[in-house]
Amino acid sequence: MILVTGATGFIGSNLLYKLAKYNVCNIVATYRYKANKDKIAALFRSKFPDGNLKFERIIWRKAELRDLPSLTEAFEGVKKVYHCAAFISFAFSDRQKLYEINQKGTSYMVDLCLKNKIEKLVYVSSIASLGSEENETTVDENSTWDNNIDKTPYGYSKYGAEMEVWRGSQEGLDIAIVNPGIVLGPGSPMEKKIKSMKNWFRFYTPGISGYVWVEDVTTIMIKLMDSGIKSERFALVAENWSGKSMILALLKAQKKNYTVIKMSKVFFYTFWFVEYLLEIIGLRKRFFTKALIKIIFNDTKISGEKIKSYIDFKYTPIGLSLKKLNLDKI
Ligand SMILES: NC(=O)c1ccc[n+]([C@@H]2O[C@H](COP(=O)([O-])OP(=O)(O)OC[C@H]3O[C@@H](n4cnc5c(N)ncnc54)[C@H](OP(=O)(O)O)[C@@H]3O)[C@@H](O)[C@H]2O)c1
């Protein structure tokens, strides 16, 4: 059987959908809340004429990454694992929870993979756990992680999780890791952000971000699982776009012609400082970190080229991905 963790999330549910589309049977999926599982049932009904049947073929097991006994039960009869579950937050105040779910939870997953003699683990990491060196213009899978460069709590948790996966590999587990950039697709965290920020489309930050279409991510994950490729990580980025290009594309999609305004670093550092003071006097929990501000203003590109020399694959262009999101209707 094939285990998919985080199957109620954006990437996990898209993977589940793709596996069902390929008629892959014997899928075990983890969930925490019935309401989120019900949303996947609705998704299946909307995507397949026999959606109910396809959904009912999936074995759903309730599992929490911080609870080893529930994870242990989820592994029963499993031979292959896609580990997509994680907690995503850039808030400084969430650092302990990020560590517990992403790093410690992944260490439980790796221990269970070893114990259950799992044939292969495909782990969804992030570009947040790629290394970066000062003065580097392009980052890839080989960039060195420098502990002297400050990272976000999310970045530390995903890097720590990846280290656990590499430990598994050292102990004999076959692994492959994907490090997607910002993943675009219907229902993605990015789409939700675009919807909630649509009245703020006049403002942008100048940094560069790497983007990839969700179906590309799930296609690559399945190809990696079914291939002999092991002990490799792959940054998945179709294109790098500046904040200005993205905001202009979003405005164009909405047929709006506003003048766009660049936000300054001073604004963010002032906000960071005010939050810092409010936290000291107990009035607010801190969201911003200096590392996050650095990312927002970062002008380093990420190369997603390596995967193309391992599997036969072409990324969906980001312009087309944005079109598929029907941004004119938000
Ligand atoms: N979205 C992106 O742009 C992006 C980019 C790069 C990497 N990634 C990585 O891709 C993976 C999936 O991200 P996503 O966008 O699909 O996130 P998502 O939509 O927030 O889904 C997260 C999934 O993890 C589950 N989960 C969260 N905390 C858990 C816990 N304590 N125990 C068990 N399950 C838990 C959630 O279950 P509930 O439904 O119960 O909450 C949900 O199914 C993550 O590893 C993330 O780091 C995402």
Residue found under tokens 């906000």? 271
Residue to substitute in 8, 11, 325 for testing ligand 1 pocket (most ligand atoms within 8 angstroms of CB): 11
Q: Output the six-digit token pair for 246.
A: 């993205």
Using the mean position of ligand 1's atoms as its centre, give its distance from the Cα of residue 143 in Å. 25
Rounded Cα–Cα distance for residues 161 and 84 (Å): 12
**Cβ(12) to ligand 1 under 6 A?**
yes
Q: What is the pLDDT of residues 213-267, one digit of tens each?
A: 999 999 999 999 999 999 999 999 999 999 999 999 988 888 888 889 999 999 9
Q: Where are the alpha helices (DSSP H) in 227-310?
A: 243-253, 265-280, 290-296
Sign of the CA dihedral running 43, 48, 51, 53: negative
The whole-angstrom distance between residue 107's C-alpha and the CA centroid of its chain comes to 18
Using the mean position of ligand 1's atoms as its centre, give its distance from the Cα of residue 280 in Å. 31
At 68 the pLDDT is 98
Angle at CA 18, nearest 5°, toward 310 and 169? Answer: 45
Rounded Cα–Cα distance for residues 307 and 162 (Å): 18
Instruction: Dump the DSSP string for 165-218.
Output: HHHHHHTT--EEEEEE-EEESTT-HHHHHHHHTGGGTTEE---EEEEEEHHHHH
Using the mean position of ligand 1's atoms as its centre, give its distance from the Cα of residue 42 in Å. 19
Q: Output the six-digit token pair for 129.
A: 């756990």
Q: What number of CA atoms fall less than 13 Å from residue 29's CA on the CB side?
A: 31
Cβ atoms within 10 Å, residue 265: 13
At 328 the pLDDT is 73
**Cβ contact 181:307 at 8 Å:** no
Query: For 153-165, b where at least 16 C-beta lie within 10 A, e where not — what string?
Result: bbbbbbbbbbbbb
Residue to substitute in 32, 75, 221, 234 for testing ligand 1 pocket (most ligand atoms within 8 angstroms of CB): 32
Q: Tell me the whole-structure pTM to 2 decimals.
A: 0.95
Rounded Cα–Cα distance for residues 81 and 84 (Å): 9
Using the mean position of ligand 1's atoms as its centre, give its distance from the Cα of residue 66 in Å. 14
**Cβ contact 83:125 at 8 Å:** no
Rounded Cα–Cα distance for residues 260 and 290 (Å): 25
Residue to substitute in 16, 121, 124 for testing ligand 1 pocket (most ligand atoms within 8 angstroms of CB): 124
Q: Which atom belonging to ligand 1 lies closest to the Cα atom of 33?
A: 40
At 195 the pLDDT is 82
Q: Output the six-digit token pair for 64.
A: 């929490």
**Cβ(192) to ligand 1 under 6 A?**
no
**Cβ(165) to ligand 1 under 6 A?**
no
Q: Which atom belonging to ligand 1 lies closest to the Cα atom of 100?
A: 31
Distance, first Cα to last Cα, the chain: 39
Q: Output the six-digit token pair for 13.
A: 């549910």
Mean pLDDT in order along the chain per 10 residues (330 residues): 98 97 94 97 95 96 98 98 97 95 98 98 97 87 90 96 98 98 92 81 89 98 98 98 92 86 92 92 90 91 97 95 82
Residues 6+ apart with CB under 8 A from 50: none
Which domains, and CATH codes, for the chain? 2-184+211-238+301-315 (3.40.50.720)
Using the mean position of ligand 1's atoms as its centre, give its distance from the Cα of residue 260 in Å. 32
